[in-house]
Structure 1
Amino acid sequence: MDFSEPFKLSGLLGRFSPDGKCLASCVQYRLIIRDVNTLQILQLYTCLDQIQYIEWSSDSLFILCAMYKRGIVQVWSLEQPDWHCKIDEGSAGLVASCWSPDGRHILNTTEFHLRITVWSLCTKSVSYIKYPKACQQGIAFTKDGRYMAVAERRDCKDFVSLFVCSNWQLLRHFDTETQDLFGIEWAPNGCVLAVWDTCLELWAIGPNQLITVFQYKILLYSLDGRLLSTYRAYEWSLGIKSIAWSPSSQFLAIGSYDEKVRILNHVTWKKITDFEHPATVVNTKTIVYKEVEKSSPIESERLSFPPTRALASSVFSTRSKYDISQVPVSFQYIKPVADRANPKMGIGMLAFSPDNCFLATKSDNIPNAVWIWDIQKLKLSVVLEQLCAIQSFQWDPRQPRLAVCTGNSKVYLWSPAGCVSVQVPTEGKAFCNALCKPLSTPSLQITFSTFNLAQALLVKT
């Protein structure tokens, strides 16, 4: 794999444009737009303050820069460099900003989630959505960009409002059978909305008495607000931790705190199977790739000159490769601490491949392993056992290829053809991490472009 020279970034703010032709990066208050093929600077913009968030419009013609501390959003145009827009939320403040699917409206969420303000770049009109709920994922757009769902909290009860994105008119408004709504997500076909409850909740039964109520509930609603199905796997224990729709909308994967992934079908919304994550794999048909380290064959004593830092990092650093382990294989298992909040247990990550053939998962109890399931056969296909804990993974949007980051200076790539470990050339110690995971140390980020495999950028904060 070839790498470019490193570029400075602030706060891991690097984004490929949706068409894969441009790369946006931020250094403090400067926004830099580069051509992906040549990495030459196309545009250089200066914002009013340090940039905290950037996002491309869907057509790659505009990019917004949010400065939450000042409550300001600035918008820049690639076609007309002299054109710019500034949105000031004033005393209402700003905690989140995003584009609408049409790329001509901006949705700003004010402090304390008092309202969502919809700003139009074309007509300069303003619309308001009241009572948005502060939850993990409170806004969801359909893939075709026609509808938007917003989670709301009114009079101590959860609601969902559906809006038409063309004119922002209210389409449906209904209450949900949740105690404390935690997130919403549309199926890729835009026909079903998944709503899930929080995993636990505290109830007051007296002036100084609290009890913990465990929740496991996911509800599926149609576009007209009808409740299609309710699914509960068990009771009296921690519930849902993560969910993921398959690209075909045929399956809904639910990751739970009991270290299982349950797969629901789109016809009856019943469970068709569940995937367990045991500490020992015994099935001989499962391939287990184990990362092993090896030393560089070149020794420093053979060189007639002292190596530079970059050369020492790239040549004399410890390399790694994959070996196929003989089944049965036992993995490192971490027993969660029961008396602490947010225990490290359950399925923390899961994602379907773009061709709908594979599902990648990670159990927080086994932090060094990535599990890859064959969806067509509904069985475990591959396990990647890493030397370090998995920080994140991401599928290539064009083919079944998975990139894995573990917090070191390597990128791990898996495909049905096999595994490879790629050393990222850096000066000094670096850490590989996925996009949108801020760190306070020099880092590397991995993200897939639409037309390119991947690009690694050195982050210096």
Structure 2
Amino acid sequence: MDFTEIYKQTGGLVAFSPGGHFILTAVQDRVVVRRADSFQITRTWQLAESGADASAKAASSPAPTITHAGWSCDSEYVLAACAKRGVVEVFKLRDENFNARVDCGAEGLVKAEWTPDGRSILCFSEWGLRVTAWSLLTGTATHIQYPIHPDRGYAWSINGRYFVLGERHKSKDTLGVYDTHQSYRLVRHFPLPSASLASISLSPLGNHVAVWEGPLEFKIYILTLAGDLLGTFSPEPDRGLGIRCVTWHPSGSYLLVAGWDDKIYVLESVTWGPVAILELNSRIPAGVNIWREPSNWIEATQGHGFLTYERIRPPWSLTITRPELAKAYPKCGPVQLSFNVSGTLLLARFESTPSVIHLFDFPSALDPASQARTPMPALRSVLIHTQPVLSAQWNTVRKGALVACCGGESAYLWSDEWVGVSEDGEQEEEADSEMAECIGVPAKSFNAREVKWAPDGKGLVLLSKETFCCAFEVEDGAAPEE
């Protein structure tokens, strides 16, 4: 991989444009847009100052910084918001003079983001008062009252047509379904069986919605968008620590639910009962690929080049940290559950083993009535690192590529798409083509805390606390012009 120079950023607000040709960066109160092929600056904007900001500046107070930034779906517009000032500004990439501004006023601002059509901005006010959709086309605003959570508990249908929001009316949980094509007209509004809604998750096909209780009860409900209750799941016994992770399979046929007990429950979409339970075990059995990060490899390579993980023969025992269950939110349970783009691999990270990544083979069909004939999810690979894993992401295009970082001057790649060369010079996939590599970042004092893939799956963004750099596959050359 070829690494770029180190650039400044604020709040981890670095994002490729949807087409992958530009990269946006927030630096204090400025927005910087660079070309992804040359990293030359294309546009810069600064948030306009209000009267209060000018007074604060005169008093030598630090200027408020950008807290939210992002691209519209077609890369035409850029959003930049400052929650402290309650202001959102919109800029147009191809029109330097264009500017739109939203002043949230006394209601405040917690979060601002683009709607799926890229022509409206969704703003969540403080104290859960309301959600406002501001249209760039008409200049009008549509208000939705009383969201349960000001920064979560909502979802969009896959085509962006419907906006689903968890609301609280008369001290009861309700769900509202709004038609975005008709100025957020209310389509459905029905009560929820939950007593204290934690959040919601819409299935990939948009026909089912999962809602679950707060931290006092492990219970999840699956409903249709018409309000019909299809199923309820609560494990036995329920330790009363609530649900921590919920993830849909890309096909929408399975729902994965995990709490604080180091177990992952796989629910199928017919009865919404558990068809499999994946549990964290200290002993890794035979047949599992075990990869371990080499010790002191950064010093040995001076942060340059690639180095393969050490391959360990199973069985092997992991060190599991036993949590103090008497404390609130003990350090246990899955902190991340995510599928690759094809749904054939599942990544799981447990807080009890913070430096370990578990990869499970996930079959396309699970049948609880014929478990002897139908393959079940099984542990495939384990990646062991010297430091806790802070971020891990599947490739956005390739189904068998994973990147992770652990807060050091390095990144880690795992792939099962390696191709060998036969004796006659033709490429052929190897039976055991899995590979794990350590990649040094050629920069001093750069601690990668978060990693993101480019939309085309050929580049990476590595973020430290206040800086970032990018890495691209050398053989693919520069990105084409937009």
Could you say which TM-score interval applies, normalised by the shorter chain? 0.7 to 0.9
Partner SS state of residue 250, structure 2: coil
Partner SS for 1:166: helix
Aligned residues of 1:369 and 1:385 also touching (Cα < 8 A)? yes
- Give the equivalent residue in structure 1 for 2:190: 174
Task: Give the superposition deviation at 1:135.
Answer: 6.6
Q: Does 1:366 align with 2:353?
A: yes
Q: Match of 1:101?
A: 116
Q: Distance in 2 between matches of 1:88 and 1:357?
A: 45
> How far apart are the structure 2 equivalents of 1:344 and 1:136?
24
Separation in 2, partners of 1:384, 1:90: 49
Does residue 1:343 correspond to 2:358, yes or no?
A: no
2:137 to 122, 125, 128: 122
The answer to whether the 8 Å contact 1:263/1:273 transfers is: yes
1:455 and 2:454 aligned: no
Aligned to 1:383: 382
After TM superposition, the structure 1 = structure 2 runs for residues 189-338 of structure 1, keeping only pairs within 5 Å, are 189-200=205-216, 215-237=217-239, 238-282=241-285, 284-294=286-296, 314=303, 321-338=308-325
Q: Does the alignment pair 1:156 with 2:158? A: no
Shift in Å, 1:235: 3.9
CA distance in 2, matches of 1:367, 1:256: 16
1:95 deviates by 0.8
Distance 1:227 1:9 in 2: 45
Deviations 1:295-331 (A, max 9, x none): 5797xxxxxxxxxxxxx9646x9x9641111211111
Q: Distance in 1 between matches of 2:356 and 2:276?
A: 21
Listed as ranges, the matches of 1:133-152 within 5 Å are 133-134=148-149, 137-152=152-167
Please show how residues 379-418 of structure 1 align to structure 2 within 5 Å. 379-399=378-398, 400-416=400-416, 417-418=434-435
1:390 partner letter: V
**What amino acid sits opposite 1:118 in the alignment?**
A
Please state whether the residue corresponding to 1:24 is helix, strand or coil.
strand
What is the identity, as a one-letter code, of the residue corresponding to 1:197?
E
Per the TM alignment, residue 193 of structure 1 is displaced from its structure 2 partner at its CA by 0.8
Q: What residue identity is the alignment partner of 2:179?
A: V
8 Å contact kept, 1:313–1:427: no
- Asked whether the equivalents of residues 124 and 150 of structure 2 are also in contact (C-alpha less than 8 Å), the reply is no
The CA distance in 2 between the partners of 1:28 and 1:182, in whole Å, is 32
Task: Give the match for residue 132 of structure 1.
Answer: 147
Corresponding residue number in structure 2 for 1:42? 42
Report the Cα distance in structure 2 between the residues aligned to 1:249 and 1:70, rounded to whole angstroms: 40
| CA–CA separation in structure 2 for the residues paired with 1:165 and 1:221 | 21
Matched-pair contact (CA < 8 Å) for 1:293–1:320: no
Q: Which residue of 1 aligns with 2:368?
A: none
| CA distance 1:293–1:131, shift in 2 (3 Å) | same
Q: Normalization by structure 1: what TM-score?
A: 0.87
Q: Secondary structure at the match of 1:82?
A: strand
Counterpart CA distance in 1 for 2:233 and 2:402 is 30
Equivalent AA in structure 1 for residue 329 of structure 2? N
Distance (whole Å) between structure 2 residues aligned to residue 75 and residue 39 of structure 1: 22
* Gap change, CA 1:106 and 1:224, over 3 Å in 2: same
Aligned residues: 419
Structure 1 segment 4-83 matched on structure 2, within 5 A: 4-48=4-48, 49-83=64-98
Shift of 1:236: 3.6
- Following TM superposition, by how much is the alpha carbon of 1:216 offset from its aligned partner in structure 2, in angstroms? 1.3
- In the aligned structure 2, how far is the partner of 1:226 from the partner of 1:281? 42
Q: What is the aligned-residue RMSD (CA, Å)?
A: 1.9
2:466 alignment partner AA: K
Aligned to 2:472: none
Task: Structure 1: give runs of 5+ residues left out of the alignment.
Answer: 201-214, 299-311, 435-445
Q: Deviations over 1:61-82 (max 9, x none)?
A: 1111011111000001112221
TM-score by length of 2: 0.83
Write the letter of the residue equivalent to 1:30: R
How far has the Cα of 1:256 moved from its partner?
A: 2.0
Structure 2 contact 153–166 (Cα < 8 Å) conserved: yes
What amino acid sits opposite 2:273 in the alignment?
Answer: K
Q: Secondary structure at the match of 2:309?
A: strand
- Identity value in percent: 30
- In the aligned structure 1, how far is the partner of 2:107 from the partner of 2:3? 44
CA distance in 2, matches of 1:295, 1:253: 36
One-letter code aligned to 1:419: A
The question of 1:431 aligning with 2:470 is answered: no
After superposition, give the CA deviation of every residue in 1:36-57 in whole Å (9 maximum; x if it has no partner).
1121111111113521110211
1:380-404 residue CA offsets vs partner (Å, 9 max, x unmatched): 1111111111112111110121111
Q: Which runs of 5+ in 2 are unaligned?
A: 49-63, 364-374, 417-433, 468-482
Alignment equivalent of 1:420, drawn from 405, 412, 437: 437
Question: Please, which moves more after superposition, 321-330 or 180-189?
Answer: 321-330
State the distance in 2 between where 1:194 and 1:297 align.
48
